[in-house]
Amino acid sequence: MACARSSPQPVQTSLVCVCVSHARVVSVSPGPLLRVEGQPVSLRCDVTDYEGPREQDFEWTMKQGEAGSIQVISTFDPKYSDVLLSDRVASGDLSVVRLGDSVVELRIREVRSSDSAAYLCSTPSTDSVFSGNYNAGVTLKVIANTLKVAPKAPEPAVPEGGDITLSCNVTHHFSDPTYLSVTWSLQRPGIPLVDILTVGPDGDVVTGSDSAQRYTDGGLRLVIRRDGAFGLVVAGVTQADAGMYVCTGRDWTREEGGQWKNIVEKTVEMGAVAVTPTGKGDGVCLVCTLSNTTLNMDDTLTLTCLVAAGNLASLALEVTWLVDGRTAVSLGRDGVVSNGSPSVGLERTGPGEFRLVVRGVRGSDKGVYSCRVRAWVGGGGRWYQAAEKTSNPVQVLVTQIKPNFTVTLTPSSTPQVTGDPTELACLVTNITNFLAGGRLGVAWEYTPLPGPPGDRLTTTQTTIPIGSLDAHGNLKSGTLYRDRLESGAIVLTRVEPDTFKLRFLRTQEVDIGVYACSVTAWTPSRQGGMEEAAEFLTPPLTVRWEPKRPSLTAVAQRVREAVAGGATFEMSCTVSHVHLQDPGYSVLVQTQESVDSATRTVLSLTMLKLNWVLAPRDSLVLTKTGPAEFRFRLAGVQQADRGFYWCDITAWTKQPGQAWTKAVGAKSNKVQINFQETGPSFAVAIRSDTTTLYPWETAKMVCALSVSGASPKSDDLAYEVRWYLTQLRGGNKGTLLASVDRFGLVKKEARNASSDVSLERTDTHTYALSIHTTQDSDSGEYHCQATPWYRSASTGAWTHGAELTSTRVFLTVRFPMWDSLKLPLLYGSVASVSVGLFSLLLGFICAHCCCRNTTHTPRSRNKLMDLEMD
């Protein structure tokens, strides 16, 4: 609502006000409502868009025909109910329940036919303005309960795979628009009631969560007759279908909005059904119609398996014939034969009768035959195995003539020493009774000799399989010989149909022992493969020789003599071996300063690469100059290189496909580097301009070197200088601060402190270290190390002298107490004086300006005080 008012004043203004209007709305459950006598009824009433207190009061009245209204119940007046209804209100049959501040329900515990009326819900006004509706009504019609559920008891016991027929008659008197539904449920011990299938009031079929797939597969069939009889057939029952079956009938009405409302229902137990397992009672019974028998080759074997069961027609059978526990042929429940062939067949000759036919039997057909039957129950996707039984076994023998032949093992090549080849031949002769299409296979065995060679062979030794060739020529390696067979170090061949060979390319000492070969005759089998018919083993054959230990000799010779510092030293090492085949060598060049000093390895040369054991140097070279010769060269020898040098050589052997194995090693004679060099002598000293300073000052220390003796020219002299800091007095070597090499390249190490260092060369023999903006972390001992380099006057080569270490200088960085405190004290004093003066000035101004009396009243001359009277 909007209103506008204009002002008569010259300046025009407008006033706009917006008023919000509330209109009370009372609503009840949509109707008309149809309910059944004796059932509970709830009528809902709520109010919205109202003013006043949040909690509203409600009154219910009813009107039947033209008679006046009858007061039913109120939320605020306990004596509101009519005298005709007061007893029902007192007993709780009629009640009003508040669901919220503005929502209530009128509840009738057991509705009566006399409760059919128009019900009116009213709310007293709490609004400032009377607006909207204050009551609403709904019509309730109560009809008699005519629903009847009469089930027919099912069979109390049903065999697995059978059917259960559930009949339930649900009727009512059709005087009002109501509709029926029926639900079948199953109650199993310890499990809540589970719905199987429901026929709804509109004729729709609704399945339970566990029955949807079964209904789709046809395991549940619905039968409905017009006389109100509903039938459900549960097909292919299993143990899970046993239990108490329940039928529930419901009466429905369609309310406003098309929603279905269940107004009454009745549940009746139909009866308990037990499912008899297939394996019990009249379960599966198997009979094999043939006893133990003996057949000749190419005869026909016929075996019949008879299956008997009480519910045979409802079972799907899977029949399998077993031979020695292995599956020979099977017939699935779908009638498909597996593993069958033109000579082996399985067929169903009648109800529960299955016949196995094997035509043209072979030796592989002998064994213990038995019939295994598996009974399946269900259908569609619900098949499960209900029972399994196996018949008594039947022994079937096949008379056959085995092949016969002679096997001989002879050595074609025997080793004389370790590493020689060895070849053994396995010959097959005098073959009889060997069927067409047959083949021979071989297996080689090895037995080690006990103790040293020459001892008598005992039968307690373990036989180790080397490898075998089957009828198709496939190689199967023994576990211990797999690597050698795969690499080709050992070869198994079939050179002729009746000749097999075992060859060792390089015989090892572990191959000394006793060998034997086993030849197997294979004949074609019924399945298309090969089967073993006969096997013969050769007498053992001993392979041995007298092992000879390998030896190695190394000789070192000086090729070039180092007569002075900076010269080149060269040495060759020659190696010779005995009783080794195609060895490989690894070389170590070793040195020691004197006979009694420790040994150091300079270089190593393996069969793959060269390795520096000491620090890498371009002047060190080790090469292989011949099959058994190695050459070591050291260019630019120094005084530290003087000493004895020799070669430590190791011989290695290798079988094809295997790793290198160490055979033997030897050391050569020693060759000495010994030259005299009269060069200059050096000394180092350190000095500092100060040992105590304050932070942010600069400290400078000088490392001075001196030369005595034969002093070289300045161009022939250089130094490597390094500066170190030790935090604790008398500590270890310390931390490297900076260094300069002999070429003048300066390198500074990374620092965590805010100070910095610099290193400079002030003259030929002097190096200065400066520490800028020192901190307390720079306190400690400082020293320098120097390595002199000079050019040899005789050879012209650069030579380094012994490393020199200076004494230590302790640098102290003091904490400036007065410098740290004078500025804070000065600033504090000035601030205190300033605040005091400002306080005095402010007090004076306040006393002069604010506390002064500006009005002067003169005193009376007669010295009498004037009195004022109210």
- pLDDT above 90 for 235: no
pLDDT in tens, 525-539: 766 677 788 888 999
Picking from 236-250, 473-487, 699-713, 832-846, which range would have the lowest pLDDT averaged per residue?
Answer: 699-713
Q: How far does CA 85 lie from the centroid of its chain?
A: 73
Which one is predicted more confidently, 843 or 864?
Answer: 843
pLDDT confidence of residue 5: 36
pLDDT confidence of residue 409: 92
pLDDT band at 866 (very low <50, low <70, confident <90, very high): very low
Return mean pLDDT, the chain: 81
- pLDDT above 70 for 457: no
CB 681 within 8 A of CB 753: no
pLDDT band at 12 (very low <50, low <70, confident <90, very high): very low
Highest averaged pLDDT of the listed ranges 270-274, 553-557, 685-689: 553-557
Q: What is the pTM of this model?
A: 0.41
Same domain, 31 and 138: yes
Picking from 374-378, 497-501, 777-781, 817-821, which range would have the lowest pLDDT averaged per residue?
Answer: 817-821
- pLDDT above 70 for 787: yes
Domain with residue 208: its CATH number is 2.60.40.10
Same domain, 409 and 538: yes
- In 3D space, the residue among 363, 357, 362, 501 whose CA is nearest the CA of residue 442 turns out to be 501
Q: Classify residue 560 by burial, with Cβ atoms within 10 Å: 0-12, 13-18, 19+.
A: middle
**Residue 255, number of CB atoms within 10 A of its CB:** 16
- pLDDT above 70 for 622: yes
- pLDDT above 90 for 45: yes
Residue 733 inside a domain? The answer is: yes
**Residues, the chain:** 870
Residue 224 inside a domain? The answer is: yes
Report the distance separating Cα 500 and Cα 805, nearest Å.
Answer: 79
pLDDT band at 143 (very low <50, low <70, confident <90, very high): confident
Residue 863 inside a domain? The answer is: no
Same domain, 610 and 586: yes
pLDDT confidence of residue 677: 62
Residue 1 inside a domain? The answer is: no
- pLDDT above 60 for 8: no
Concatenating the DSSP letter of every residue in 549-605 gives --EEEEEEEEEE---STT--EEEEEEEEEES-SS-EEEEEEEEESSTTSPPEEEEEE
- pLDDT above 70 for 298: yes
Picking from 738-747, 764-773, 784-793, which range would have the lowest pLDDT averaged per residue?
Answer: 784-793
pLDDT confidence of residue 284: 52
Same domain, 329 and 212: no
Report the distance separating Cα 168 and Cα 199, nearest Å.
Answer: 12
pLDDT confidence of residue 864: 39
Domain final residue pick, 618, 651, 673: 673
pLDDT in tens, 80-127: 888 888 888 889 889 999 998 889 999 999 889 888 899 999 988 887
Mean pLDDT of 415-432: 87
Report the distance separating Cα 363 and Cα 765, nearest Å.
Answer: 105
Residue 855 inside a domain? The answer is: no
Same domain, 408 and 534: yes
Token output for 823: 């500025």
Dihedral of the alpha carbons of 522, 524, 526, 530, in degrees to the nearest 10: 50
- pLDDT above 50 for 285: yes
- pLDDT above 90 for 467: yes
Domain final residue pick, 543, 561, 581: 543
Within 351-438, strands assigned E span: 353-358, 367-377, 384-390, 394-399, 404-413, 422-432
Domain final residue pick, 527, 543, 559: 543
pLDDT band at 425 (very low <50, low <70, confident <90, very high): very high
pLDDT band at 14 (very low <50, low <70, confident <90, very high): very low
- pLDDT above 90 for 571: yes
Helix (H) or strand (E) holding 673: strand 671-673
Residue 657 inside a domain? The answer is: yes
Same domain, 265 and 316: no
Residue 341 inside a domain? The answer is: yes
pLDDT confidence of residue 556: 93
pLDDT in tens, 55-64: 888 999 999 8
pLDDT confidence of residue 630: 92
Domain span at residue 88? 24-143
CB 471 within 8 A of CB 439: yes
Query: Residue 253: CB partners within 8 Å, gap ≥ 6?
Result: 34, 176, 177, 178, 179, 260, 261, 263
pLDDT confidence of residue 19: 39
Q: Map residue 298 onto helix, strand or coil.
A: coil
Report the distance separating Cα 576 and Cα 722, nearest Å.
Answer: 49
Question: Among residues of the chain, what percentage have pLDDT more than 90?
Answer: 16
Q: Classify residue 780 by burial, with Cβ atoms within 10 Å: 0-12, 13-18, 19+.
A: buried
pLDDT confidence of residue 10: 37
Token output for 499: 């000749």
Same domain, 178 and 230: yes
pLDDT confidence of residue 328: 86
Q: Classify residue 355 by burial, with Cβ atoms within 10 Å: 0-12, 13-18, 19+.
A: middle
Q: Map residue 411 onto helix, strand or coil.
A: strand
pLDDT band at 247 (very low <50, low <70, confident <90, very high): very high
Give whole-number Cα distances, 225 to 155, 207, 220, in Å: 21, 20, 17
- pLDDT above 70 for 469: yes
pLDDT confidence of residue 868: 42
Same domain, 178 and 267: yes
pLDDT in tens, 336-373: 888 878 888 888 888 888 888 888 887 778 889 989 98
- pLDDT above 60 for 183: yes
Report the distance separating Cα 176 and Cα 173, nearest Å.
Answer: 8
pLDDT in tens, 16-31: 333 344 688 888 888 7
pLDDT band at 1 (very low <50, low <70, confident <90, very high): very low
Mean pLDDT of 448-464: 64
Same domain, 412 and 538: yes
pLDDT confidence of residue 819: 62
Same domain, 534 and 555: no
Residue 858 inside a domain? The answer is: no
- In 3D space, the residue among 746, 744, 726 whose CA is nearest the CA of residue 736 turns out to be 726
Q: How far does CA 757 lie from the centroid of its chain?
A: 55
pLDDT confidence of residue 491: 92
Same domain, 708 and 746: yes
Token output for 465: 């399989």
pLDDT band at 587 (very low <50, low <70, confident <90, very high): very high
Total number of domains constituting the chain: 6
Same domain, 445 and 347: no
